[in-house]
Amino acid sequence: MNPQEIYLFGLIGLRALAEYDLPEYNRSTDMSKRELERQIELVLEKIDSPEAESLFNDMKIIIDTTESPIELSFLLQQIYMSSSRKAQYYSLRYSRQQSAEKSQDFPISYHESRYEPETHISVSHEAELVRLSVMLLLRHLPEYTPLFNLHFKNIEIDCVLEPQLTELPYIVVEAKSRIVNLKQLDIATKQLKSAMSAFGRKTVGIIVLENPLLEYNREILGKNMHLLFFDARKNQFIGEELYGFIKGIRS
């Protein structure tokens, strides 16, 4: 399983959503159904995914042959749920595989592991947090392609959303599950700005947190940067920051 295939399942789920819940689809994206289908077909041309291709074909057959609106809504809702679950499941599995490979390259000794914080983290690893949140972002930004774990000089970037349209900016995403105060946020912001500089002035930065900070100064973030709060248990963003971010991208 690779990030492109995970992305593909997310697109198929979005296409099913367009048929059985059009208002929610319109809130998620301004792409037409035809544009979305073309994007799915382009990804299918690049990768070999019999599972995703079969799911996409089943969806098209359901749309073309089901006459009862109630039955159509029910079947497409099942396609949507199946696609979303596969995207989340494979995202988590891919994340754990990446984590396991890194742990083999950089084994942690007993003495190092003793000093790990014992605070509860609802997502088991930041890599899982970034993949869950990115898959949800792609529901709103289907014209982007995710690139995970990129390296530029001495900087490691959790995810870069690469635009397929030249007028859209690059989006750099960093997940920080352990930020609990403004000092830590300031450090994360400076690191993100450094990563953003590799993609030019139009680049937009996102810091994804699990827990909302009670108070923070918007000026800490600076221009073209956003702080999004993600509830992993409900698989959704908290607050209105997401819609401000999406509006900024579209404007």
Give the pLDDT score at 172.
Answer: 93
Q: Which residues does residue 231 pair with via DSSP β-bridges, in sequence order?
A: 236
Top-tier CATH class for 126-250? alpha beta
Q: Where are the domains of the chain?
A: 3-114, 126-250
Average pLDDT of the chain, as a whole number: 77
Give the pLDDT score at 118.
Answer: 33
More confident site: 179 or 203: 203
Q: Which two tokens stand for residue 92?
A: 């988590």
How many Å apart are CA 170 and CA 141, to the nearest integer? 12
How many Å apart are CA 6 and CA 86, to the nearest integer? 8
Q: Which two tokens stand for residue 68?
A: 């009862």
pLDDT tens by residue, 72-85: 888 888 888 888 77
How many Å apart are CA 91 and CA 85, to the nearest integer? 10
User: Cβ(36)–Cβ(25) under 8 Å?
Assistant: no
Give the pLDDT score at 171.
Answer: 94
pLDDT tens by residue, 168-184: 899 999 988 777 677 88
Give the pLDDT score at 175.
Answer: 87
pLDDT tens by residue, 101-155: 654 544 433 333 333 333 333 334 577 788 888 888 888 888 888 888 777 666 7
Residues ≥6 apart with Cβ < 8 Å to 131: 6, 91, 92, 94, 95, 148, 159
Whether the pLDDT of residue 49 is over 70: the answer is: yes
Angle at 15 between CA 1 and CA 125, to 5 degrees: 40
Token pair 């099942």 in the structure block, residue: 78
User: Cβ(82)–Cβ(43) under 8 Å?
Assistant: no
User: Cβ(12)–Cβ(55) under 8 Å?
Assistant: yes
- 88 φ, ψ (degrees, to nearest 5): -70, -45
